[in-house]
A and B are shown apart, each in its own frame.
Chain A
């Protein structure tokens, strides 16, 4: 075990996987926090400024892609490695557009993840074998703001305007205002439409 292990944070909503990974990585890294959604990740990353963050894409309240977009402003020196089941090039492109340094599939062995983390910490980018090259395709421009995407995800998760307002510390009226703007921008008319849009875009998992 090295004298000083790199300090890392894990964001993964499946507790069993998260706790297992924590043990799995303990020899090589110091896991200083492990959280279950993107919102909690933003909070601990700002406070702890980890060297590296492992994050899943599908997470409740704030998914990994939208969390990554905000992490650049919160902990600019942290390296980001996505650990996900999604092999779809669209996700890979979105991840690198959001600021990722690495992208590892959960179908890889733990040794592959650990190697990828060391590579990213050494300043290089890393993709799981088979994905190389796909990250360079142009990303589709984003129609919604970060705040709108946060609200869209929570609407699609079935949360009320009041609940969303509490999570984001804004009034439920402001939430309703954002929701109306999102529907206008996307040309949608109901919560059901928003939910289907969020599912189709991968903002919430199907």
Chain B
């Protein structure tokens, strides 16, 4: 029997486009343009699979998935989203999703994700270093929201603001080597490959504001994150407070 599908995306044109792609292989039973409507329709129609965007008006995708897991656990959720970063992937599986497909994926990926969710199996878009066939959802969620320590977040923030390794080292009272090591750790963990990537990530996750001073050496606001406690490196011992605070 064909998988019964419900679609939810804030943009009607996107919903209709997806419906065209899917209707030949699956049974599309309904469509919603916001999170609340998706939740209500899912509870009423009880589709096998709900395909939804993370960003939805009125109620975000993660909240929809969490609510369905309690209210209608038979509905399996697959995200089809424009957000393509590991933090969102982890959050999606932590909320109870069965699949995660980037909107720039090929249609065949979407078909595979829906078919798998229909069988109770998970699927994640390739490119995150995660193998959906072998990795159960739980393991994907171990490191929540990228899993950065407060110190790593602060280094990420300073890199994103355009400060050099030397400046960051001086500011945080640690050696340049420690800064470099934080930086490569962060890059690996978040899958960032360039300074511009740091800046984009920091802006997207609210670590820095686009209205922040754009002069790299200018008087910036005090770091939002307190220096980490309990770091083993002796270099970090002096880091008790922001060396510079506006």
Contacts and interface: CB of A to CB of B under 8 A. Distances in A.
Nearest to B212: A196
A93 B231 CA distance: 51
Given A15-B106, A199-B203, A206-B204, A192 B196 contact: yes
B interface, size bucket: 35 or more
Contact of A157 (B18, B192, B196): B196
B195 interface: yes
Interface of B: 10-14, 16-21, 33, 80, 82, 101, 103-107, 110, 159-162, 192-200, 203-204, 208, 210, 212, 214-216
Most A Cβ at <10 Å: residue of B11, B13, B193, B197: B13
B158 to A, nearest CB: 10
B16 A192 contact: no
Closest 8 CB pairs of A and B: A20-B17, A192-B162, A158-B194, A14-B103, A106-B11, A190-B162, A158-B196, A195-B199
Interface in A169-192: 188-192
A1 B112 CA distance: 32
A21 B17 contact: yes
Given A15-B106, A199-B200, A206-B204, A24 B17 contact: yes
Given A17-B103, A158-B193, A192 B200 contact: no
Nearest to A85: B11
Nearest to A113: B13
Given A19-B21, A106-B11, A192 B161 contact: yes
A108 B12 contact: yes
Interface residues of A, number: 41
Contacts of A197: 214
Contacts of B17: 16-17, 19-21, 23-24, 110
B16 A20 contact: yes
Contacts of B161: 192
B195 A109 contact: no
B13 A83 contact: yes
A13 interface: yes
Contacts of A45: none
A155 interface: yes
Most B Cβ at <10 Å: residue of A105, A156, A157, A190: A190
Contacts of B194: 158-160, 191
A163 to B, nearest CB: 10
A109 B160 contact: no
B200 A21 contact: no
Contacts, number: 126
A36 B105 CA distance: 12
B103 A192 contact: no
Contacts of A206: 200, 203-204
Given A14-B104, A192-B160, A158 B197 contact: yes
Nearest to A106: B11
29 contacts: A14-B103, A15-B107, A16-B103, A16-B105, A17-B14, A17-B18, A19-B17, A19-B107, A20-B19, A20-B21, A24-B17, A85-B11, A106-B13, A107-B11, A107-B33, A108-B13, A109-B12, A113-B13, A155-B196, A158-B192, A158-B193, A158-B200, A189-B215, A190-B162, A191-B195, A196-B203, A196-B212, A199-B199, A206-B200
A16 B107 contact: yes
B162 A191 contact: yes
Given A190-B216, A195-B199, 12 more contacts: A13-B104, A16-B21, A83-B13, A107-B13, A156-B196, A156-B200, A158-B192, A158-B194, A190-B162, A192-B198, A192-B216, A199-B210
